[in-house]
Amino acid sequence: MRRVVITGIGIVSPNGLGRQSFTDAISEGRSGVGPIESFDTSGQAIRIAGEVKGFDVMKYLGENKKNAKTMGRAIGFAVGAAAMAMEDSGIDVSRMDPTRFGVCMGAGITPVDIRELVEPIARGIGDDGFSLSRFAAARAGSMDPLWLLKHLPNMAAAHLSILHHAMGPNSTVVTACAAGTQAVGDAFRLIGRGDADVMMAGGCDSRIDPLMLVAYEAMKAVSHSLRPASEVSRPFDGERDGFVLGEGAAVLILESLQHARRRKARIFAEVRGYGSSFDAHGLTRPEPEGRGAALSMTSALREARIDAADVDYINAHGTSTRLNDLMETVAVKRVFGHRARKIPMSSQKSMVGHLIGASGALEAAATAISLDSGVVPPTINQSTPDPACDLDYVPNTAREMTSRTAISNSFGFGGQNATLVMSKFHG
């Protein structure tokens, strides 16, 4: 396996656009969770989210602005994050072999805007009930011929490859909350085994949508807290009562070390290992003993050839749900034993909410940033201890420390688990 490094980071998040803005926000413990502004939430049980503000995809499309009509909101975020990552890396596409340059993206549900369908649905209802033919006739006149492209999960990877002329491996991972982490892990292995020299890897998602809010409310997974919006997401806290939806994208530029050295690139961190597993337990409830999550961590450490005793920081999945936070705590104890209480472990979801398909990519970026900067971001909103969640969650305030090796965890709905191992780069 060739050595693989991270040379560029692009972020579109609720608390920052761009690597530096996001770095400042997580270092300061600044939340991006607030009242939903993109649509009227009157009558909705959920009225807050980690919503991206001030983003305009047109800034990143150059001469391809007409493509915006085929982009759902999440795809637009991916396009922006990729452009930022490419600029951050300083890579010159014209000097690259495009067949050695690929894309791997995590993605999720792309919700159909129910407001687009209200009128044709109404026209489809007659005295004989709902008629598909009447609905189709009402929709046909107003539907863009390329409307479907906004909703296909592989379109983010397709747009990035077209915009940046990446002709190498191209894939999309759709594994719920683990997707972004698995995309980075897959890209790491593609480079490591010699199938590509450079990969854009990450995740994008946006589910802050009227229909999605109803769906998540029905699942009873989101918070109903009446606290101020910025205080609702509280991973590992004794008063947590569910997660907060977020949206955004993160893209990392991964390169073989040889390729990065040849162009004298800045290196944020080295990716050392990747592990994945499945709980085989339940679709919505994590396996309570943390066996699947622990297997993901130990598999990643094994590939990295790193001992658990050498891990200095854990970027937690940390959703703010009762069961998931407890399971992750148990799994960390299973892997790290008596050292578990000595390892700083924090969750950015306390500041941005749960970005689902993009969350693992954003957290991988945060892990690389932490290794590079020597600052461990906090888990904010820690005020009430939970006796069952008794590890060092870096409460409320960032911590300066030089980490040598860190892991980033993602544990998804359905039981899909993924872990990345990264190290501070040393030549």
E strand or H helix at 19:
helix 19-28
Which residue in the list 159, 164, 259, 317 is annotated as catalytic? 317
Rounded Cα distance, 89 and 388, in Å: 42
Cα 210 to the chain's mean position, in Å?
A: 21
Is residue 317 part of the annotated active site? The answer reads yes
Beta bridge partners of 420: 274, 408
Q: Could you tell me if 138 and 120 are in contact, meaning their C-beta atoms sit under 8 angstroms apart?
A: yes
Could you give the C-alpha distances from 77 to 57, 73, 206, in angstroms and in order?
7, 6, 9
Cα 417 to the chain's mean position, in Å?
A: 13
DSSP string, 346-398: E-THHHH-B-GGGHHHHHHHHHHHHHHHTEEPPB----S-BTTB-S---BSS-
Count CB atoms within 10 A of the CB of residue 54.
Answer: 5
Could you give the C-alpha distances from 408 to 32, 97, 371, 397, in angstroms and in order?
21, 31, 12, 19
Q: Could you tell me if 244 and 232 are in contact, meaning their C-beta atoms sit under 8 angstroms apart?
A: yes
- Phi, psi of 27, deg, nearest 5: -70, -35
E strand or H helix at 117:
helix 114-124
- Phi, psi of 199, deg, nearest 5: -135, 135
Q: Could you tell me if 307 and 404 are in contact, meaning their C-beta atoms sit under 8 angstroms apart?
A: no
- Tokens at 154, concatenated: 């592989």
Torsion of CA 346, 220, 279, 371, to 10 degrees: -20
Could you give the C-alpha distances from 354 to 226, 247, 298, 347, in angstroms and in order?
18, 7, 25, 10
DSSP helix/strand/coil, 251: strand
Could you give the C-alpha distances from 5 to 93, 140, 158, 221, 341, in angstroms and in order?
18, 49, 23, 36, 29
Is residue 354 part of the annotated active site? The answer reads yes
- Tokens at 330, concatenated: 């148990």
Which residue in the list 104, 177, 204, 389 is annotated as catalytic? 177
Is residue 104 part of the annotated active site? The answer reads no
Active-site positions read 177, 317, 354
